[in-house]
Amino acid sequence: MNSYPKQILTISQQLQTYIDAGMTVSSVDEAAAALTTIGYYRLRGYSFPLYDNASKRYLVGTDFSNILKLYHFDMELSRLLFGMVTCIEVALRARLSDALLTYHDALILTDPSVFCDKKLFWQNLSSLSSQIARSNDVFIRHNFQNHDGEIPLWAAVEVMSFGTLSKTIKNLKTGKNSAYTILAGYYRYISPRGKLVKPSLRMLSSWIQSVSVLRNMCAHNSRIYNRTINTFPELLMVDRTTPAPLHNGLYQILLAMKYLRPTDKIWENFYTDLRNLLKKYNGSFDFNCMNFPADWSEHLNLHT
């Protein structure tokens, strides 16, 4: 067996690597507690913006407490985001179910005729079937026991993963009297000409997919701060920045979340909580590390 080239470090040795690279540790007890409860590798990600790769040294004045504040900021941000994403996800499930009821078929999710890509349809149905089989929800057991295992649309959408939900919507057929037309009606926006229009399937799908990616990051306690998020929601003209950023970050996903908001009130509450969180940690983070432009507030606020 090959030996791994890097040495396993004790807590005191981990602390010493910070000190050797120019970081101050004003409270050894606090730092040691953080390393034993959070971990060196996870905290390392929050130190990147404060580290100069050229000199292999931390920026002058960097203290371990700066890293810890960034971590706590990110955890609170993640919880806030997850709460809003949950509202978006729940509304999407209800609205997809309502839209598909236009076909007057409780088992419409098993009908390939309402979906564009038949191969993708079967892949999605396979994923949904596995999710149904794993479910212990009472409404799933009810249909197993009383309806010969047939699962109606409104029950199936409740056990779909967000990923399957996203892919199912992306594969819907469009056109007059389609379920997609009904679904898109919930997410209308004002065009540059001042008209209220429905998003295209491509646009709506890009919003949902990007929020799904963020949801998984939050659910798995991944770092949000100073993170490139490799998904590209199609932004409204009024929200596009010039020049466009080379990589997407949290800001672009927040815009997609705004477009998918279940109600204005829910978004307003989230926006207020976000502003309060940013105010609480003011000076501890860099807006650029989340791709926020200078006028970010004007774009996220519904009343500007």
Are 103 and 50 found together in one domain? no
Q: 56 and 81 share a domain?
A: no
pLDDT for 230 equals: 84
Tell me whether residue 216 is in a domain: yes
What pLDDT is attached to residue 304? 64
Please check whether residues 184 and 213 belong to one and the same domain: yes
Residue 144: pLDDT band (50, 70, 90) is: very high
Q: What is the pLDDT of residues 62-75, one digit of tens each?
A: 999 999 999 999 99
Residue 190, class by beta-carbon neighbours within 10 Å (0-12 exposed, 13-18 middle, 19+ buried)? exposed
Q: Which residue is it, tokens 């997919």?
A: 209
Work out the mean pLDDT of the chain and round it to a whole number. Answer: 94
Q: How many domains does the structure of the chain reveal?
A: 2
Shared domain check, 81 and 30: no
Does residue 152 lie in a domain region?
yes
pTM across the whole model: 0.93
For residues 153 and 218, membership in a common domain is answered with yes
Does any domain span residue 181? Answer: yes
pLDDT in tens, 84-109: 999 999 999 999 999 999 999 999 99
34 & 99 share domain: no
The residue from 23, 42, 62 where one domain ends is: 62
**Is residue 67 in a domain?**
no
Cβ neighbourhood burial of 4 (10 Å; 0-12, 13-18, 19+): exposed
The range of the structural domain enclosing residue 272 comes to: 72-300
